Amino acid sequence: MTLDGTNTWVLRAPGATHGVVIDPGPLDEGHLARIAAAGPYSAILITHGHHDHVEGAGRLSALLGGTPVLAADPAHCVAGDPLTPGRDQRAGLSVEVLPTPGHTSDSVCFLVDDGNARLMFTGDTILGRGTTVVAHPDGDLGAYLGSLERLTAYGDVLMLPGHGPVRADVAAVARDYLDHRRERLTQVEAAMAAGARTPEQVVDVVYPDIDPAVRFAAIWSAGAQLDYLNHKIRESGTPAGRLDPL
């Protein structure tokens, strides 16, 4: 589920005395010690609250003598206030917090501008390869589609994801993700018309060759897809294909 593991990003502007860490990752003492050795830092920033991104944050803060951990969810903050949308100066860098809910309700991306280039740190909102899971019920497909639409506005911005390799253009990847999601929704609608009523039944139809090790993630995504389509059915008043409440 984590591809090659979680990417931890360490940023420092030229000439700056302090840097910024994005997503310290799991509680891996060796990994955290290497991050700490590259300090000091003005802040530890979190893209979302899944353990493979945030679990080591408190320990890293302690290793650094109390460096603030900042996340959208107050539960993951240490010695600092929750992140809010907007731009701020951190360690000589312009860092903009962009709410991008969908993968999780607390997901954010960070748009970083050093005066020469713009970088988008996407966490799990967009991955370096493949597609991400909408972690239903906390994750929401309608919100996720809206987040992807917003990211299509950032053309020619280098994308640095939470998993997998760097990609050249976050807007292009966001458009590809939108196309994929719409194709999946068409497949789920067909499964509904054929009588699928639960996420498990949808997975059997839409993801027939799924690896059993990641079937749970497909069930999460199918639950999000059914929720989204049921909501559209309720809004339109169309009875055909309506499912039992999830």
Q: List the catalytic residues.
A: 52
CA distance 233 to 159: 35
DSSP track, 16-82: -S-EEEE---SS-HHHHHHHHHT--EEEEE-S---HHHHTTHHHHHHHTTS--EE-SSGGG-BSSPP
- Per-residue tokens: 125: 């909102």
- Burial label for 193, CB within 10 Å (0-12, 13-18, 19+), is exposed
Q: Which residues contact 179 (CB under 8 A, 6 or more apart)?
A: none
Identity at 229, one-letter amino acid code: L
10 within 8 A of 40, measured Cβ to Cβ = no
42 within 8 A of 18, measured Cβ to Cβ = yes
CA distance 81 to 92: 20
Identity at 48, one-letter amino acid code: H
CA distance 34 to 25: 12
Please give the C-alpha separations between residue 105 and each of 50, 144, 237, 245, in angstroms, as whole numbers. Answer: 11, 9, 27, 21
